[in-house]
A and B are shown apart, each in its own frame.
Chain A
Amino acid sequence: MRISIDWLKEYINIDASAEKVAEALTEIGHEVEAIEKYDEDFIFEVNVTPNRPDCLSIFGIARELSAYFRIPTKFPEYAFAAETGELDFNIDIHDPNLCNRYAGRIIKNVSIAPSPEWMSKRLEKCGIRSINNIVDITNYVLLELGHPLHAFDLKTLRGSRIMVGTPETIKGKGVIIKTKTLDGVEREIPGNSLLIWDAEKPIAIAGVMGGLNTEVNKDTKDIFIESAHFNPISIRRTSKMLGLKTESSYRFERGCDIKILKKALDRCAFLMKSIAGGQIFGKIDIYPKIYTPLEIILRYEKVNSVLGLNLSSFDIDEYFRNLSFELIPLKGFLKVRPPAFRSDIKREIDLIEEIARLYGYDKIPARLPDASVCLFDSTNRHLVSQNKVKDTIRLSFLKNGFSEVVNFSFMGAEDLDMLKIPSEDVRRKTVKILNPLRIEDSYMRTTLIPSLIKNVLYNLSHGNKDLRLFEISKVFIDNNSSKDDIDSKDNKLPIEKIHLAAICYKEKAKNLYKDDTHYFYNMKGIIEAILYSLKIKDYSFVRSSEPFLHPGQSADLYISKVKSGFIGILTPIVANNLEIKAYKPQVGILELNLKALIENSMNEIKYQPLSRYPYIERDTAIIVDSSLEAISIKNLINEFQTDLIEDSLLFDVYQGGNISEGKKSIAFNIRYRASDRTLKDEEVDTLHNQLVKYILDVTKGQVRS
């Protein structure tokens, strides 16, 4: 809201500087966002909060300053000598729930002309374009008193009648009503939107915009002025449905002052008579249900206990008087009647806020609460372990050179197509946004991989070639199974899972040190280290069938038999469609659902006693079919029945050289130790030979000589 200081001074006699006035307004909750010098005047850009429609006018702001500076306001002149006579004119409110009051006056023989300069200037300062004296006066009163008015050309009104009602009420359900508004746009009116009609046709969208067919123009002689009070919710719905926001709808949907309506009408008539000539006719005022002010009980001690102050009842009463609140003092408390323009004051706490803002928030001392140091709150223990797992993972990836990214939670349908995700896959159970900003952002992510691929492409296009990125964020899986279950509304919400995803890609570059470790092993190593630090033992990697991964260089991670994610190299089928120069070197990706990690991470550790006896180690290399995976040797060692194996390690896998085609050599080291005695060499030799024989029997291998 733009407020002219010069105009403001018409209603309140303040001599404080513009800066001081701005500070005062900010201090009592009407933040002055900018001060603009305009000739000799200052214009404030005031941010009026939605609960204070009474401050959407110059006079409303004057009222606030009056309470702050304790200076009275002067109401603008609105009394005029005589009315020319009564008029035969009917007003009927057909939807009394949507229109609480409708008043009007007729003014005849006005001269349409440009507005006087002082008026057009004031409108211009406040951001309203001058049209002609009649229209300008309605806008002037709107800015002055905050009450929207509308002027109709009387000769266009048929049947000396105004009706207030929705199309459904006036014409019946299902009848389509179209009307052209002042902006020249033909609009179809929703059946439950309030309209103003004459005896034949709609002439205005109530509280939003007038109709073109009754517009005041240069030939207008006689005028009907409307000053009404409409239901805020109804106006807001109509304005939203039509996508039509006006100075008038903005005020009506926030709530107008039902009592000022008559004065605004008279002020308007007064100005029309003095500026545009004309005779003022009698007033029609349909006011079916007279407004009764709320009565709110205020306990003095409650004011102090909420604010942490020690104000006397005398001080408190004084603040309310300055705000023009009506007070009925009772024993120990106060009955307060807020004025009609303060529709925001509904209960005791609202009154307490009035005291707080006039006392000054800054004067209320800052004191730490007298509360227990720590609350015992076991409600979210699961969050503690969840955050521990998240921290462990973040740290691991950071230490391994991965930088953390944060992406929007959105994706497009084509992102899943890019990854060749099949239609029955859970990642296709998407949550769709009805009003996305961009079509590529229409869905909530079900996988983090597309965002990370885009991050890599973005970076490559900016010349960044060595990329290791990770993200921990939620994905959203639609949960439409129980949509009909009304009892548990939460079941309608999607399932939110915390995912970890990482990507690594490096364009072939000159490198001082050689590191040929395959990305797969790099990433697998990080994950294994994380599993180790979370003390998760029951996991396995099995070949993955993810459609976007290289079939031979990818694995799914199972934790406690539950598939929890994948690691792998992006398949060339996908990679070739991206703006990545070559398929090799590869793009390594991984994505994990953290649920299994959180649930299986062992928080309680039980110490195992250490053996005091020496160990004996034996190394053996065997030759097996090259298709045999290392894990099978490891499994066989684990299966072997003995208590004496402390640890085992695969330390060499070799193909070629003197190893014949289709075969490979696997070397392993076994460490033997007993907990209760020193082992003898012969005992270990026997045991080790049995183990080797067992492995060879199963693998059909032979010892490498």
Chain B
Amino acid sequence: MFEEIRDRFSEDLKSVQSLQELNNLKVKYLGKKGIITAQLKSLSTLSPSERQVVGKLINNIKLFIENEIASKELFLKDAELQNLLKAEYIDITLPGKYTSYGSEHPLNIVLNEVIDIFIRMGFNVEEGPEVELDYYNFEALNIPKDHPARDMQDTFYISEDIILRTHTSPVQIRGMLKRKPPVRFIAPGKVYRCDADISHTPMFHQVEGLMIDENITFSNLKGILVAFIHMMFGEEIPVRFRPSFFPFTEPSAEVDMGCILCKGTGCRVCKQSGWLEILGAGMVHPAVLENVGYDTEKYNGFAFGMGIERIAMLKYQIDDIRLFFENDIRFLRQF
């Protein structure tokens, strides 16, 4: 008889599809008026010895049913959750909603890269005014009024003695006046020249560098600048120094690096020379050190300067400098 109950239960359980049906089944067997409950009630009609034997059998069946229902319940709950999740499926192929990340301006990317390299070499960062006194921009840098070297830089004038700085070199003077040697800093910033065409804009960016200490040599200038170019463009890039002229350095040098586009074989960008002009540099002219009251017998040093637009144009192969300042979002979004 008990076998029969067990088989019937198993049969019933098979057809259960939902938690509700399971509950109904539970009531049918284990509820107050359930089959098992009725069997348990009927025990009282038996003799104590029979009761013990039969009671055990009923309890076994009851345990069996309870376990089966519990495991069926787990199964159904899981299935129900699965169904629920299925119902909540979204179309993962639709585009994501995001606050798009803005683009850094390429000039600032390059500027920060240059600054980082020099900071790693122990240089501080210094700044100075963009509207500058003629004195700091020219005279203190050994470029007196009426010097032909002034032709090298077309100047915007605010008044007779106030100008828009034509290079970041005046920061050299201000930076040295603020400190006692040894000094080592770079000065990044905007500079202005009265000039506009495919390769000139009236405003552009430079990074100036200065190192003053005892026993600084031209050889050290080469060391630092070669290190910079290698860190910036790669260790395999050849570097060439050739004499040039800046009123505030002596000896002065123009620094070329092997063309990064054609690897020195000659192309349009390097005008078939295999070389790209990248930096101006030199040993700080003693007249400049005298202007800031440094002892030229004890201290000397070097200075260098570079144009950020030029580096960015080479790096990203941009052929028109004006693109940097048009701020077309299609251009900006490429960086």
Binding site for B on A (CB under 8 A): 26-29, 31, 34, 49-52, 232-233, 236-237, 253-254, 305-309, 347, 349-350, 352-353, 356-357, 361-362, 364-375, 377, 379-380, 383, 387, 394, 397-410, 431-437, 441, 444, 455, 458-459, 462, 464, 467-470, 473-474, 476, 489-490, 492-494, 496, 512-513, 515
Complex Cα distance, B247 from A398, in Å, reads: 42
**Is B167 engaged at the interface, CB distance under 8 Å to the other chain?**
no
A-contacting 9-mer, from B9-17, B39-47, B55-63, B131-139: B131-139
Contacts A347-B286, A367-B219, A458-B326; A409 near B332 (Cβ below 8 A):
no
**Is B236 engaged at the interface, CB distance under 8 Å to the other chain?**
no
Besides the contacts A367-B217, A372-B122, what 19 more A-B pairs have beta carbons closer than 8 Å?
A: A50-B149, A237-B146, A307-B218, A308-B220, A352-B250, A353-B243, A356-B251, A357-B243, A362-B240, A364-B241, A375-B122, A377-B179, A380-B125, A398-B101, A405-B105, A407-B327, A435-B157, A464-B330, A496-B131
Contacts A353-B250, A408-B325, A432-B158; A29 near B243 (Cβ below 8 A):
yes
CB distance from A500 to the nearest CB of B (A): 13
**Is B94 engaged at the interface, CB distance under 8 Å to the other chain?**
yes
Contact: B102 with A400, CB < 8 Å? yes
Q: Which of B102, B135, B158, B227 is the most central at the interface, judged by chain A CB atoms within 10 Å of its CB?
A: B102
Contact: B102 with A401, CB < 8 Å? yes
Flag B140-163 by CB within 8 Å of A: 1 or 0 each.
000000111101100011110110
Could you say which residues of chain B place their CB within 8 Å of the CB of A375?
Answer: 122, 124, 182-184
Partner of A369, one of B129, B194, B216, B226: B216
Could you say which residues of chain A place their CB within 8 Å of the CB of B286?
Answer: 347, 349
Contact: A368 with B220, CB < 8 Å? yes
Contacts A50-B148, A513-B97; A349 near B250 (Cβ below 8 A):
yes
Contact: B196 with A437, CB < 8 Å? yes
Contact: B211 with A512, CB < 8 Å? no
**Is B304 engaged at the interface, CB distance under 8 Å to the other chain?**
no
Contacts A49-B244, A52-B245; A476 near B130 (Cβ below 8 A):
yes
Could you say which residues of chain B place their CB within 8 Å of the CB of A409?
Answer: 130, 190, 192, 203
**Is B99 engaged at the interface, CB distance under 8 Å to the other chain?**
yes
Partner of B283, one of A349, A400, A403, A436: A349
**Is B206 engaged at the interface, CB distance under 8 Å to the other chain?**
no
**Is B259 engaged at the interface, CB distance under 8 Å to the other chain?**
no
CB distance from B237 to the nearest CB of A (A): 13
User: Which residues of B217-270 have CB atoms within 8 Å of chain A's CB atoms?
Assistant: 217-220, 222-227, 239-245, 247, 250-254
Could you say which residues of chain B place their CB within 8 Å of the CB of A467?
Answer: 329
Could you say which residues of chain A place their CB within 8 Å of the CB of B250?
Answer: 349-350, 352-353
Size band of the B side of the interface?
35 or more
Could you say which residues of chain A place their CB within 8 Å of the CB of B328?
Answer: 458-459, 462, 464
Contacts A406-B107, A406-B325; A369 near B201 (Cβ below 8 A):
no
Could you say which residues of chain B place their CB within 8 Å of the CB of A232?
Answer: 146, 148
Contact: B194 with A435, CB < 8 Å? yes
Complex Cα distance, B161 from A434, in Å, reads: 12
Contacts A361-B242, A406-B325, A433-B156; A398 near B127 (Cβ below 8 A):
no
What are the 9 A-B residue pairs with the smallest beta carbon separation, nearest first?
Answer: A308-B219, A308-B217, A29-B243, A49-B245, A366-B222, A353-B251, A361-B241, A369-B220, A357-B243
Complex Cα distance, B152 from A34, in Å, reads: 20
Contacts A399-B102, A493-B162; A379 near B157 (Cβ below 8 A):
no
Complex A-B: 11 CB contacts under 8 Å: A50-B245, A51-B247, A237-B146, A306-B217, A365-B219, A366-B226, A379-B179, A398-B103, A402-B102, A469-B327, A492-B162
**Is B20 engaged at the interface, CB distance under 8 Å to the other chain?**
no
Contact: B156 with A436, CB < 8 Å? yes
CB distance from A297 to the nearest CB of B (A): 13
Complex Cα distance, B245 from A356, in Å, reads: 13
**Is B86 engaged at the interface, CB distance under 8 Å to the other chain?**
no
Partner of A253, one of B127, B148, B222: B148
Contacts A51-B245, A469-B327, A496-B130; A383 near B125 (Cβ below 8 A):
yes
Contact: B125 with A356, CB < 8 Å? no
Contacts A398-B103, A404-B104, A490-B133; A377 near B327 (Cβ below 8 A):
no
Contacts A357-B251, A371-B182; A399 near B217 (Cβ below 8 A):
no
Complex Cα distance, B241 from A366, in Å, reads: 10
Contact: B325 with A407, CB < 8 Å? yes
Contact: A50 with B151, CB < 8 Å? yes
**Is B108 engaged at the interface, CB distance under 8 Å to the other chain?**
yes
CB distance from B282 to the nearest CB of A (A): 9
Complex Cα distance, B258 from A104, in Å, reads: 52
**Is B185 engaged at the interface, CB distance under 8 Å to the other chain?**
yes
Complex Cα distance, B157 from A50, in Å, reads: 22
Contact: B330 with A353, CB < 8 Å? no
CB distance from A561 to the nearest CB of B (A): 28
Residue of A nearest to B115 (CB): A387
**Is B126 engaged at the interface, CB distance under 8 Å to the other chain?**
yes
Contact: A29 with B245, CB < 8 Å? yes
Contact: B227 with A380, CB < 8 Å? no
Residue of B nearest to A459 (CB): B329
Partner of A31, one of B146, B159, B254, B324: B254
Could you say which residues of chain B place their CB within 8 Å of the CB of A431?
Answer: 131, 158
Complex Cα distance, B330 from A462, in Å, reads: 9
Contact: A380 with B152, CB < 8 Å? no
Contacts A236-B148, A380-B126, A431-B158; A28 near B217 (Cβ below 8 A):
no
User: Which residues of B158-196 have CB atoms within 8 Å of chain A's CB atoms?
Assistant: 158-159, 161-162, 164, 175, 178-179, 182-185, 190, 192, 194, 196
Contact: B131 with A476, CB < 8 Å? yes
Contact: B135 with A464, CB < 8 Å? no
Q: Which of B162, B242, B324 is the most central at the interface, judged by chain A CB atoms within 10 Å of its CB?
A: B242
Contacts A401-B102, A408-B325; A29 near B149 (Cβ below 8 A):
no
Could you say which residues of chain A place their CB within 8 Å of the CB of B213?
Answer: 369, 371
Could you say which residues of chain B place their CB within 8 Å of the CB of A380?
Answer: 124-127
Partner of A512, one of B97, B190, B219, B223: B97
Contacts A50-B149, A306-B218; A31 near B326 (Cβ below 8 A):
no
Could you say which residues of chain B place their CB within 8 Å of the CB of A372?
Answer: 122, 182
Contact: B129 with A493, CB < 8 Å? yes
CB distance from B312 to the nearest CB of A (A): 11
Could you say which residues of chain A place their CB within 8 Å of the CB of B133?
Answer: 489-490, 492-493
